[in-house]
């Protein structure tokens, strides 16, 4: 091997060394870039994980806050209910005494007025006597109006009673006939209410009846009339309301009850209702037949799985 060949080999070796050095530098450069890229990716992942965890925590906290608010709301409602019951019980005990007191007071006032008339004369005295008589009469009138008001209200729920319903429906049907207007009637029944009473007691059943009334009233207008028809049944007179609007309102009420949280203090009770609908004059022009039509529609709703609404069948 001559010197030229040796020289060429050395040059090739030098080139290879340079190439090796260049490759090595490139490899280290790539390693650094990869490390920087992985670091950036890890930081991004950490941020996303933190955001996800914080989001989950926030969602859980919000959910718990909503539950806590509902619990507080229901606890306050039950406390108010219990206080109202205690007040009502105390008032009931005092009513006989109050009646006797009023009776004696009126009697004493009358005797006093008569004695004054006997002892004194003159226009001034006459004016005072008249004022006293007016005051006594006003008190008696207020007591009479209060008695009449109680006579048409249901003692438990505070809504109109069956007696008022019968009279009011008859009056509204007469108006509808006179002015050729539509009128719709809803009959509402609480599903499986007997099981609720048997399981949780009648006190809880009473609370549910009161809350049902509140939910229904929130969805009615000032021209609608809610009455306790009997037991767990309620009737709603929808004046100047055609069947299509009555169906929409009935479904709104059904859904509102379904979504309402009935809380016993230790457990949430799912409560559902079924509704029967009838319209004047489509289904009947007679009060009793209209009620029967709505009641039959309710019966169909009950036998169709409950928690739904049904419209009365129009007979040819």
Q: Is 132 a residue whose pLDDT tops 60?
A: yes
Q: Is 50 a residue whose pLDDT tops 80?
A: no
In the chain, how many domains are there?
A: 3
Give the pLDDT of residue 313.
94
Residue at which a domain ends, from 43, 71, 92: 92
More confident residue, 237 or 11: 237
**Which is catalytic among the residues 211, 232, 247, 279?**
232
Per the listing, tokens 């991004």 go with 44
More confident residue, 63 or 162: 162
Instruction: Tell me, yes or no, whether 121 and 195 share the same domain.
Output: no
**Whole-angstrom Cα distance, residue 273 to residue 225?**
18
Instruction: Tell me, yes or no, whether 167 and 306 share the same domain.
Output: yes
Instruction: Tell me, yes or no, whether 230 and 297 share the same domain.
Output: yes
Is residue 135 very low, low, confident or very high in pLDDT (cuts 50, 70, 90)?
A: low
- For helices 123-151 and 3-119, give the axis angle rounded to 10 degrees: 130
User: Between β-strands 309-311 and 273-280, what pairing exists: parallel, antiparallel or unpaired?
Assistant: parallel
Instruction: Tell me, yes or no, whether 52 and 122 share the same domain.
Output: no
Query: What are the pLDDT digits (tens) for 69-119?
Result: 777 766 666 656 665 666 566 656 656 765 676 666 666 666 666 666 666
Instruction: Tell me, yes or no, whether 57 and 167 share the same domain.
Output: no
Q: Is 122 a residue whose pLDDT tops 60?
A: no
**Average model confidence (pLDDT) across the chain:** 82
Instruction: Tell me, yes or no, whether 250 and 295 share the same domain.
Output: yes
Instruction: Tell me, yes or no, whether 182 and 284 share the same domain.
Output: yes
The reply to whether 38 falls in a domain is yes
Instruction: Tell me, yes or no, whether 137 and 235 share the same domain.
Output: no
Q: Is 45 a residue whose pLDDT tops 80?
A: no
The reply to whether 106 falls in a domain is yes
Residue at which a domain ends, from 67, 92, 117: 92
Contact (Cβ atoms closer than 8 angstroms) between residue 257 and residue 271: yes
Give the pLDDT of residue 244.
97
Q: Which domain holds residue 76?
A: 1-92
More confident residue, 283 or 146: 283
**CA nearest 272: which of 219, 229, 215?**
215
Active site residue 232: yes
**CA nearest 263: which of 271, 255, 274?**
271
Residue at which a domain ends, from 75, 92, 109: 92
Instruction: Tell me, yes or no, whether 59 and 186 share the same domain.
Output: no
Q: What is the mean pLDDT of residues 202-223?
A: 95
Q: What is the CATH number of the domain that holds 228?
A: 3.30.70.270
- Above pLDDT 90, what percent of the chain? 49
Q: pTM to 2 decimals?
A: 0.56
**CA nearest 176: which of 277, 276, 286?**
286
Give the pLDDT of residue 24.
75
Instruction: Tell me, yes or no, whether 233 and 287 share the same domain.
Output: yes
The reply to whether 122 falls in a domain is yes
């Amino acid at each position: 091997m001559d010197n030229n060949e040796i020289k060429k080999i050395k040059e090739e070796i030098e080139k290879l060394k340079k190439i090796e050095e260049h490759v090595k530098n490139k490899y280290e450069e790539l390693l650094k870039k990869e490390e920087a890229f992985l670091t950036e990716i890890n930081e991004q992942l950490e941020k996303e994980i933190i955001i996800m965890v914080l989001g989950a925590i926030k969602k859980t906290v919000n959910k718990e806050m909503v539950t806590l608010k509902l619990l507080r709301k229901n606890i306050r409602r039950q406390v108010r209910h219990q206080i109202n019951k205690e007040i009502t019980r105390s008032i009931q005990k005092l009513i006989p005494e109050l009646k006797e007191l009023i009776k004696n007071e009126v009697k004493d006032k009358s005797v006093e007025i008569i004695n004054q008339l006997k002892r004194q004369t003159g226009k001034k005295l006459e004016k005072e006597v008249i004022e006293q008589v007016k005051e006594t009469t006003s008190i008696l009138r207020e007591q009479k109006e209060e008695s009449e008001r109680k006579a048409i209200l249901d003692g438990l729920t505070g809504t109109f009673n069956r007696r008022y319903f019968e009279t009011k429906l008859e009056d509204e049907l007469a108006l509808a006939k006179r002015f050729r207007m539509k009128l719709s009637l809803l009959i509402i029944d609480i599903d499986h209410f007997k099981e609720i009473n048997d399981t949780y007691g009648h006190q809880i059943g009473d609370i549910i009846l009161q809350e049902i009334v509140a939910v229904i009233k929130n969805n009615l207008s000032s021209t609608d009339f809610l009455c306790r028809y009997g037991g767990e049944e309620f009737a709603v007179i929808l004046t100047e309301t055609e069947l299509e609007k009555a169906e929409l309102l009935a479904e709104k009420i059904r859904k509102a009850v379904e979504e309402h949280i009935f809380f016993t203090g230790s457990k949430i009770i799912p409560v559902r209702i079924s509704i029967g609908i009838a319209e004047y004059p489509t289904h009947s022009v007679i009060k009793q037949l209209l009620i029967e039509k709505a009641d039959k529609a309710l019966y169909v709703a009950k036998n169709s799985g409950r928690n739904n609404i049904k419209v009365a069948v129009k007979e040819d």
